Amino acid sequence: MSKRIGILTSGGDCPGLNAVIRGAVKSCVQLGYDCFGFLKGYEGLYAPVQYVPLTGESTKGILNQGGTILGSTNKGRFAAIQGVNDRVEISQHLIDGVKETVRHLDLDGLICVGGDGSLAIAQQFHENGIPVVGVPKTIDNDLTATAFTFGFDSAIECATDALDRLHTTAASHERIMVLEVMGRHAGWIALHSGIAGGGDVILIPEIPWNYEDVCHKILHRESQGKKFTLVVVAEGAHLPDGEMVGEEQEGQQLKLGGIGKQITQEIEKRLHREARLCVLGHLQRGGAPTTFDRVLATQFGAHAVRLVVEGRFGEMICSRPPEMTSVPIAEAVSKIRQVDPMGPAVQAARALGISFGDRPADEVSHGVFDLKLEHVPDLHDTEGLLESTESAVEAAMA
């Protein structure tokens, strides 16, 4: 009997999923493995089991297609995450059912493509003896183990294009335009698209902000003859009172959305200026992947097969340029990577005069390059690293 590998895509869809599938399938063909694709994420692994054979012919032409030919879901019987690091144990009867599927199909390994929630499920599979490897997928780019996740570049391309378009209509009508983008716990999409698209205010989960400084930035621009303002806000940014805006769902994470509307209304109320809102929503998840995401996703697919061939189960493939390496899945999903409020991207944005809603407009650029560490701490010295970080924060706040 020939060797066999299974693959599935779980969680929210994003550009590049089909490129991963194609990369894995073509590698399987070259290495003499049969490949099976399970439908609708993890749901396809349990009765009624749903899968299709994947071949070079059946995956022809999908490299540049958005979405996933296997389908995906972030709901159902295998939902394993309700919040940050809030793991929910999968029922043992579901685990046993997946084991039986893997045994019945005689799979040598199962490639699970997903974000932190989906990979938390893969980790539970691994703990129960199921031969899994992980592929990181999230447009939020918030997994600490990998430098980049595919889908992120495509998402910021979409958001940047939106800002380019909003710029012209905002200037024409002298309006304040608020663009709400995705980003639950990390503001990478808002930060990168805000810089690339010429945003004037960027509001992200990592930096507390207030309406006074946002409004001051708008008025400061007007005093300089700039009669319009572009505000970019991540959907997971906290309101000044610390609250997140969204819809409560029983047994699930808060369904985010609506902060852009509140900000738009508050700006109009305070400044008596015309403001408009644009919510990108799932546009950021749709469409063809960028060149960068196609290359990255293809590498992830091929190297995921390598992990199976090498028997390195319970690991997730990750990009650490110039290497394509791997880490334990448990390590990959244990911590979310957020924007460093004192990092180079934020420093550059402040130097350009971009406001993060935490300082008056005439102080946005003050001291942004003043913070200098006397030495680079040993990354393996946890206690020393913590002390260095605390010292840096104290110096920045002084």
Burial of 317 (0-12, 13-18, 19+ CB in 10 A): buried
Amino acid of residue 105: L
Check if the beta carbon of residue 374 is closer than 8 Å to that of residue 353.
no
User: In whole angstroms, what is the distance from residue 189 CA to residue 216 CA?
Assistant: 24
**Active site annotation includes 200:** no
Burial of 368 (0-12, 13-18, 19+ CB in 10 A): middle
Torsion of CA 384, 388, 394, 397, to 10 degrees: -150
Structure tokens at 201: 């205010």
Of 54, 212, 184, nearest in space to 117 by CA: 184
User: In whole angstroms, what is the distance from residue 329 CA to residue 308 CA?
Assistant: 14
Name the DSSP class of 358: S
Structure tokens at 356: 């993060």
∠ at Cα 322 (318, 324), nearest 5°?
A: 30
User: In whole angstroms, what is the distance from residue 342 CA to residue 336 CA?
Assistant: 17
DSSP states of 147-194: S--BTHHHHHHHHHHHHHHHHHHHHHHT-EEEEEE--SS--HHHHHHH
- Select which of 116, 140, 213, 293 is catalytic: 140
Name the residues annotated as catalytic.
140
